[in-house]
Chains A and B, each alone.
Chain A
Amino acid sequence: MKLFAGVSGGEVQFDLTREGTELAAGKHRIRFESSNGIIKSVVIDGIPLKCAVIQSDGVYHVTVRGTTFQVTVDDLRSEQIKEAKKASAAPGEQTIRAPIPGIIKKVFLKAGDAIQKGTPVCTLVAMKMENEITSHLDGVVAEIFVAENATVNKDNIIAKISAK
């Protein structure tokens, strides 16, 4: 079975076959020894290690050797997936997005306000630190998507900006 794993901006291809208790991909071997729910003992190329695997919204969150990676696994190459998506996407407005997750403390703008690069948009409090989010665009605020005290995730849209 051919599978493409997308991780850290790259892609790794595996051609997996079962060989008894092991799975083989090229010269590499993996065997799942035991699974205590999320935490699993695996043996990779003869070396035992523990890892965690969580599946959420089609993404694998794999924690191995201290690092948590988000991995997507598909039997299509990511370029093919991207092209399929591109074809269906419409040209969007420009957006200002939350650079980090946190809580919106103050919103300085409302729809219709003219802004320039550097105009303060809102303050975002994350882990006790206050960050002033400024616009990286010139234009007019089309819509504000956050209210004060709202919780936002990284990359949530804060505002849509249309050209003047």
Chain B
Amino acid sequence: MKREKLLVANRGEIACRIIKAGKELGLHTAAVYSSADADSEHVRLADEAHLIGNPEPSESYLSIPKIMDVLKRSAADMVHPGYGFLSENAVFADAVEKSGARFVGPTGKSMRAVGDKLSARSLAVSHGVPVNPGLEGDPSAGDVASFIRKHRFPIMLKASGGGGGRGMRIVRRADDLDRSTREARNEASGAFGSSMIFVEKYIEKAKHVEVQIIGDGKGNCVVLGERECSVQRRHQKLIEESPSPSISQKQRMKLFEWVRKLVRATKYRSAGTFEFILDDAGNLFFLEVNSRLQVEHPVTEVRTGIDIVRNQLLLALTGKLALEQEGVSCRGHAIEVRICAEDAYSNFAPAYGRVPASLFPHAPNVRVDTFLDGSAAIPVYYDSLIAKVIGGGATRDECISRLLKYLPTVIVAGIPTTIPFHIWALSHKEFVSGKYTTSFVEREWRQEVDQEDVRLAAFIAAATEFVQRERYVSSNPTGVNLSAWKTWTLPSAGGSSKK
């Protein structure tokens, strides 16, 4: 049999993860990269790599012509889009399949049916799956005003074609409506090429529960359990776990039944996630479909032992699912924390530059997905995710204590990360109780630095300075004027981050 070639149209940790799955299956792997990623781990991992342009996503990872050009030149047999970028772009999926290659994901047609938040809503409604009150069809200012009169603030503005928190704004006061609408529309048109938005009632005490499936494209699917992802900032997830500590077995079965209906209706192919909101009265509302592999898919992999990407690739290779529902057993618990290049003590402000050194120690039942190979550049152009740490265990408490022991041993040098936030969150009684909601971070995170850590850092820095001065003295036998120390500028160490 001819050795098939897999083109991975993404970057960062997910590109690395997909390339590794491809290599396991004996595929020849091809990577694409922008000029900002020339030295990135996914470029080194792949059997071949193609430069596609300038760092701006629109000129590289988001450019359909550039990726299609590489597809043609590399003569790849299939394309995995990862998440983000072109992963939910139906035009891209169609273009890939029209060229004769296979798209590792849903067809453009079912992507259109579920990928647009609005059409997904009407699909749910027509199959008896409950949805949150909303206003569809790019409503006018007048429509929005009357929706607000009926349902009151807060409301949520959402980009119709969106995802990942972009093009989304919560509006709590009439004063903010115009500005938030502008921001949401601009963000939506920049990110998704359409400024269409819709309006929903915003549920304050919400939990976010989602169901992972892999469909065969003929209406059948295997359900791989659910995940709860209610620890979020700016509508982007920070911690995900499975099983959800918030739903009963009865609710779980209901969710799976709804999802099977929607998969059957759309003939959904490949990995997908059906997202739901759980309100504080225990009602579940369908939210949207993520018609792609998701960031948090390892949570499910750790719990089921099933490699989702491998199964996506096998489906693309053979046209058949390589697993059956009877073979799926969810065991124990799994929790993932997202380590992002963000300053958790400064409103999660993004950081970028160079990580000159990092360390993720090996530990039992801890999985690390990252593109940091010791050092790495963190370009400003892309999202801030640098690593995912997934702890597995027999129980939820075991996972929590495992991660709490593990995270302080991780080193990502030179830049602030979300690690201290995770240590705080996993120790917080609200998280530990499992009763946390999507407003947990906003309500509870006080950005307080651990004073013992402060003292440790100060001690280490002072001791390093002391040792350097000792060395300076011993290397200057001519005699040194001690009082001159205070005016010295010490030489900066090599490889440090840009200022």
Question: Which chain A residues numbered 59 to 80 have a C-beta less than 8 Å away from chain B?
Answer: 60-69, 71, 73-76
Rounded to whole Å, the gap between the CB of B341 and the closest CB of chain A is: 8
| Cβ B413 vs Cβ A38 within 8 A | yes
B291 within 8 A of A: no
Rounded to whole Å, the gap between the CB of A80 and the closest CB of chain B is: 10
Please tell me the size bucket of the interface on A. Answer: 35 or more
Distance, CA A44 to CA B117, complexed state (A)? 54
A90 within 8 A of B: no
> Residues of A contacting B381 with CB < 8 Å?
103
Distance, CA A64 to CA B458, complexed state (A)? 10
Distance, CA A7 to CA B456, complexed state (A)? 11
> Residues of A contacting B499 with CB < 8 Å?
56-57, 153
Q: A62-B461, A71-B461 are in contact. Are A39 and B497 (CB under 8 A)?
A: no
> Residues of B contacting A53 with CB < 8 Å?
460-461, 464
**A1 — nearest CB in chain B belongs to which residue?**
B466
| Cβ B191 vs Cβ A68 within 8 A | no
| Cβ B166 vs Cβ A64 within 8 A | no
> Residues of B contacting A114 with CB < 8 Å?
none
| Cβ B352 vs Cβ A101 within 8 A | yes
Question: Which chain A residues numbered 3 to 18 have a C-beta less than 8 Å away from chain B?
Answer: 3, 5, 7-8, 10, 12, 14, 16, 18
Distance, CA A123 to CA B413, complexed state (A)? 30
| Cβ B182 vs Cβ A64 within 8 A | no
Distance, CA A52 to CA B375, complexed state (A)? 12
Q: A60-B461, A66-B408, A71-B457 are in contact. Are A132 and B497 (CB under 8 A)?
A: no
| Cβ A68 vs Cβ B350 within 8 A | no
Rounded to whole Å, the gap between the CB of A20 and the closest CB of chain B is: 13
Interface residues as binary, A87-110 with B (CB distance below 8 Å gives 1, 0 otherwise): 000000000000111110100000
Rounded to whole Å, the gap between the CB of A127 and the closest CB of chain B is: 4
> Residues of B contacting A52 with CB < 8 Å?
357, 359, 411, 413-414
Rounded to whole Å, the gap between the CB of B282 and the closest CB of chain A is: 32
| Cβ A38 vs Cβ B357 within 8 A | yes
Rounded to whole Å, the gap between the CB of A139 and the closest CB of chain B is: 21
| Cβ A63 vs Cβ B411 within 8 A | yes
Rounded to whole Å, the gap between the CB of A144 and the closest CB of chain B is: 20
| Cβ A44 vs Cβ B459 within 8 A | yes
A128 within 8 A of B: yes
Q: A37-B357, A52-B357, A99-B349 are in contact. Are A62 and B457 (CB under 8 A)?
A: yes
B45 within 8 A of A: no
Q: A25-B459, A38-B495, A55-B492 are in contact. Are A65 and B408 (CB under 8 A)?
A: yes
Distance, CA A128 to CA B235, complexed state (A)? 13
Rounded to whole Å, the gap between the CB of A125 and the closest CB of chain B is: 8
| Cβ A50 vs Cβ B485 within 8 A | no
| Cβ A101 vs Cβ B350 within 8 A | yes
> Residues of A contacting B450 with CB < 8 Å?
65, 67
> Residues of A contacting B416 with CB < 8 Å?
67-68
Please tell me the size bucket of the interface on B. Answer: 35 or more
Distance, CA A126 to CA B190, complexed state (A)? 13
Rounded to whole Å, the gap between the CB of A138 and the closest CB of chain B is: 19
> Residues of B contacting A102 with CB < 8 Å?
350, 380
| Cβ B485 vs Cβ A75 within 8 A | yes
| Cβ B458 vs Cβ A38 within 8 A | no
With beta carbons under 8 angstroms apart, the residue of A58, A69, A73, A126 that contacts B380 is A126
With beta carbons under 8 angstroms apart, the residue of A60, A68, A153 that contacts B464 is A60
| Cβ A129 vs Cβ B165 within 8 A | yes
> Residues of B contacting A33 with CB < 8 Å?
none
| Cβ A73 vs Cβ B453 within 8 A | no
A145 within 8 A of B: no
> Residues of A contacting B342 with CB < 8 Å?
127
B186 within 8 A of A: yes
**A17 — nearest CB in chain B belongs to which residue?**
B466
> Residues of B contacting A162 with CB < 8 Å?
none
With beta carbons under 8 angstroms apart, the residue of B166, B453, B493 that contacts A56 is B493
With beta carbons under 8 angstroms apart, the residue of A60, A123, A127, A151 that contacts B384 is A127
Rounded to whole Å, the gap between the CB of A15 and the closest CB of chain B is: 10
With beta carbons under 8 angstroms apart, the residue of B234, B411, B492 that contacts A57 is B492
B455 within 8 A of A: yes
A154 within 8 A of B: yes
Rounded to whole Å, the gap between the CB of B202 and the closest CB of chain A is: 18
Name the residue among B380, B415, B458, B467 with the largest chain A CB count within 10 angstroms. Answer: B458
Distance, CA A3 to CA B485, complexed state (A)? 11
Stretch at the interface among B92-100, B213-221, B261-269, B417-425: B417-425
B1 within 8 A of A: no
A51 within 8 A of B: yes
Q: A39-B357, A66-B420 are in contact. Are A30 and B455 (CB under 8 A)?
A: no
With beta carbons under 8 angstroms apart, the residue of A3, A10, A37, A132 that contacts B462 is A3
A113 within 8 A of B: no
> Residues of A contacting B179 with CB < 8 Å?
132
Name the residue among A42, A53, A74 with the largest chain B CB count within 10 angstroms. Answer: A53
| Cβ A54 vs Cβ B497 within 8 A | yes
With beta carbons under 8 angstroms apart, the residue of B456, B470, B493, B496 that contacts A18 is B470
Distance, CA A108 to CA B114, complexed state (A)? 37
Distance, CA A105 to CA B419, complexed state (A)? 30
| Cβ B463 vs Cβ A68 within 8 A | no
Rounded to whole Å, the gap between the CB of A135 and the closest CB of chain B is: 13
A130 within 8 A of B: yes
12 further contact pairs, Cβ within 8 A, besides A56-B492, A65-B456, A66-B420: A18-B466, A39-B413, A55-B490, A55-B496, A56-B499, A62-B460, A66-B409, A66-B410, A66-B422, A71-B461, A76-B486, A132-B179
A sample of 15 inter-chain contacts (CB < 8 A) reads A12-B455, A12-B459, A38-B493, A50-B411, A61-B413, A67-B416, A67-B450, A69-B454, A69-B457, A71-B462, A75-B486, A76-B486, A132-B182, A132-B183, A154-B346
The 9 closest A-B pairs by CB, nearest first: A52-B413, A56-B496, A5-B458, A66-B419, A71-B461, A69-B457, A38-B357, A60-B461, A12-B458
